[in-house]
Chains A and B, each alone.
Chain A
Amino acid sequence: MIAAWPSPVGEEYALAFDKSRPHRVLVLPAWFDEASKLRHFTAEVMRRLNGAGIDSFLPDLPGCNESLAPLAEQTLDTWRAEAAEAAWYFSATHVLAIRAGAMLAPDALPGWRYAPVAATSQLRSLLRARVLAAREAGRDEDRDALLAEGRQHGLELAGYRLGAAMISDLAETDLASCTKQRDIAQGDIGGAGLWLRAEPDYDPKQADALAAIVAMELLA
């Protein structure tokens, strides 16, 4: 179920449910701390798709999870190239992007974007969290100054060391709409968004709901 594959940045791992079935879904994970909070949920959605007769593949983003690639050297383009290459390598027929994973979804693939969030919003949350945490620790940090520093020298946000190019990419790139991919709001799933919890959590009903939407539309 863990597959090694030759990604553009070297060998990477992917969680894979591959039985060479006709429907093959590339799953693009949420980013950074949200990736941890949504990992169990994402894997459970894939397990349900597997049960419904649908293959799926969840590649690590370079520099994240099991990836050995240096995160500080990654950019939005290296991540997009990874997603595109994974789509090709695993012969994906559809894409299911989770949260900021929507930023990486190949335009040509039909599919879904679950609770999509723009890179700009994701960066805003990360910077704000750092400013609030600094203040709780008695240090005074300022979002604009942090962003300016990050664009020059990179920045550590929520424990992730991001390079200058990635910080600039995140600050400048909004989420484009994609006619082939349908957005699924948290309200369609029900319950509270798991990415907003202080600790990773899991809700089988939410995994049921998202897998059901994907499976029903794929197998209709």
Chain B
Amino acid sequence: MSGHAITGHADRVLRQVLQDVLGLSAERVAAFTSETGLFGDLPELDSMAVAGLLTEVEDRLGIVIDDDEVDGEMLETYGALLAFVQGKRG
């Protein structure tokens, strides 16, 4: 599988998880760019919701995310979260 195909898969899965977690429409999630703000812009998301999101990402992409790696920067924008997830997939 080429790097591009893996990237596309992670991107699709991540958008789907965010759509599920944030309760956003498919159209709105499809319009996400790497600069789209995530958790800084959504203060109603508590630690339980963030934990649920990360567990879903782990289960759907088959990756493991250490709690030490979870920080505000990684969750700040869509691009930052996607880059993190792609790094995990090697």
Contacts and interface: CB of A to CB of B under 8 A. Distances in A.
Interface stretch (A9-17, A65-73, A129-137): A129-137
Nearest to B50: A132
A179 B47 CA distance: 36
Interface string A124-149: 11101111110010000011000000
B48 A129 contact: yes
B49 A197 contact: yes
B55 interface: yes
A198 B24 contact: no
A117 to B, nearest CB: 8
B55 A124 contact: yes
Interface residues of A, number: 25
Interface in A94-145: 121, 124-126, 128-133, 136, 142-143
A interface, by DSSP: helix, strand, loop or mixed? Answer: helix
A198 B48 contact: yes
B22 A192 contact: yes
Contacts of B47: 129-130, 132-133, 136
B interface, by DSSP: helix, strand, loop or mixed? Answer: helix
A198 B51 contact: no
Interface string A181-212: 00000100001110111110100000000000
B67 A131 contact: yes
A128 B67 contact: yes
A129 B46 CA distance: 9
10 contacts: A121-B59, A128-B55, A128-B70, A131-B67, A142-B67, A191-B23, A192-B19, A192-B23, A198-B48, A198-B49
Given A125-B52, A129-B51, A133-B47, 6 more contacts: A132-B47, A191-B23, A192-B23, A198-B46, A198-B48, A201-B23
